[in-house]
């Protein structure tokens, strides 16, 4: 599906990002793996190489525009082009009512989860256009369309990712660049490990998903892979929940 393509994945040291990088490599892409976690990033590269793929790791903080630019430059310098980008890096942030939400915590969540996606696309888009087009898949959340109490920053950021994705799709789809986003519900990743530690909380989370379980990173990666491939050639500006029926309740 991605033979001879070059892909960039942020937040790829674990969870959905790692699963996506592995899926891209499995389908023939050369992958630039990025994260702030050096050990996890190196492990992702090692997993790709062990499976016969090709990958490089570049540490980066997506909240820093210069880092976003450097990632694109590294991908092009190493592999000659950029065809696919998955902006996955994100944090959960603190839990607090809106009026009590700390200003520094708000700024951190917005800078990583929303501005980080904008910075990524700002530098990815010119490279993708230079390569003749391609695809960007942004990782939003079910909170891109609904909300949780005590999660104002995360909810605002993920709603913003959906809108940003749609605006960018309108700007560049006619030029051969498709831009979409996906909205995972609760997936077995390090981000939700703090919730799963309490058996009662875990059972409550499972109960919110009509399918009767939480999702796996590999299931999200398969959707991302499809959106990044030519099989989704008429799909752009879309928001795809992947939520075990969560939003259908």
- Chain-centre distance of CA 48, in angstroms? 18
Q: What is the mean pLDDT of residues 8-35?
A: 98
Supply the pLDDT for residue 196: 65
User: Does residue 249 lie within any of the structural domains?
Assistant: no
**Structure-token pair, residue 93:** 């942030």
Q: Total domain count for the chain?
A: 1
- The reported pLDDT for the residue numbered 190 is 81
Rounded to two decimals, what is the model's pTM? Answer: 0.96
In a domain, 89, yes or no: yes
Q: How far apart are CA 82 and CA 80, in angstroms?
A: 7
Residue 211 lies in a domain: no
CATH number of the domain where residue 66 is located = 3.40.50.720
197 domain residue, yes or no: no
Tens digits of residue pLDDT in 116-145: 999 999 999 999 999 999 999 999 999 999
Question: Is residue 199 in some structural domain?
Answer: no
Q: Which residue in this structure is represented by tokens 């700390």?
A: 102
pLDDT at residue number 59:
98
- Give CA–CA dist 92/81, Å, rounded: 32
Q: Tell me which residue range forms the domain holding 116.
A: 6-189+216-241
**Cα–Cα distance between 226 and 235 in angstroms, integer?**
10
Return the active site residues.
Answer: 154
Is residue 72 included in any domain, yes or no? yes
Q: What would you report as the CA-atom Rg of the chain, rounded to the nearest whole angstrom? A: 17
Assigned token pair, 246: 């969560």
Position 33 scores a pLDDT of 98
Which tokens go with 158? 């993920």
How far is CA 80 from each of CA 11, 126, 135, rounded to the nearest angstrom? 22, 14, 17
* Residue 204 domain-assigned (yes or no): no
**Neighbour-count burial of 9, counting CB atoms closer than 10 A to its CB (0-12 exposed, 13-18 middle, 19+ buried):** buried
Instruction: Give the chain's mean pLDDT.
Output: 96
CA distance 10 to 80: 19
Query: How many percent of the chain have pLDDT more than 70?
Result: 98
pLDDT value of residue 201: 82
Of 164, 108, 98, the residue nearest 136 (C-alpha): 164
Reply yes or no on whether the pLDDT at 49 is more than 90.
yes
User: pLDDT tens across 180-230, in order?
Assistant: 999 999 998 887 776 666 788 889 889 999 999 999 999 999 999 999 999
The verdict on residue 206 lying in a domain is no
Q: Tell me if 180 sits within 8 A of 137, measured CB to CB.
A: yes
Report pLDDT digits (tens) over 53-94. 999 999 999 999 999 999 999 999 999 999 999 999 999 999
């Amino acid at each position: 599906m991605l033979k001879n393509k070059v892909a960039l994945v942020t937040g790829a040291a674990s969870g959905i990002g790692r699963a996506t990088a592995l899926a891209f490599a499995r389908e023939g892409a050369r992958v630039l793996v990025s994260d702030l976690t050096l050990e996890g990033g190196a492990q992702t590269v090692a997993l790709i190489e062990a499976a016969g793929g090709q990958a490089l790791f570049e540490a980066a903080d997506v909240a820093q525009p210069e880092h976003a630019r450097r990632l694109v430059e590294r991908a092009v310098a190493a592999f000659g082009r950029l065809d696919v980008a998955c902006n996955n890096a994100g944090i959960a942030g603190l839990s607090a009512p809106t009026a009590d939400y700390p200003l520094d915590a708000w700024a951190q969540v917005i800078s990583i989860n929303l501005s980080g996606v904008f910075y990524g696309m700002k530098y990815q888009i010119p490279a993708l256009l230079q390569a003749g087009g391609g695809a960007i898949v942004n990782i939003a959340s079910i909170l891109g369309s609904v909300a949780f109490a005590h999660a104002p920053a995360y909810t605002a950021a993920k709603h913003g990712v959906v809108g940003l994705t749609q605006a960018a799709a309108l700007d560049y789809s006619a030029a051969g660049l498709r831009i979409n986003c996906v909205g995972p519900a609760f997936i077995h990743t390090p981000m939700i490990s703090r919730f799963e530690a309490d058996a009662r909380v875990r059972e409550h989370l499972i109960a919110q998903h009509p399918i009767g379980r939480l999702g796996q990173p590999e299931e999200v990666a398969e959707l991302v892979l499809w959106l990044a491939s030519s099989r989704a050639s008429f799909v752009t500006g879309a928001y795809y929940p992947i939520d075990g029926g969560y939003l259908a309740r």
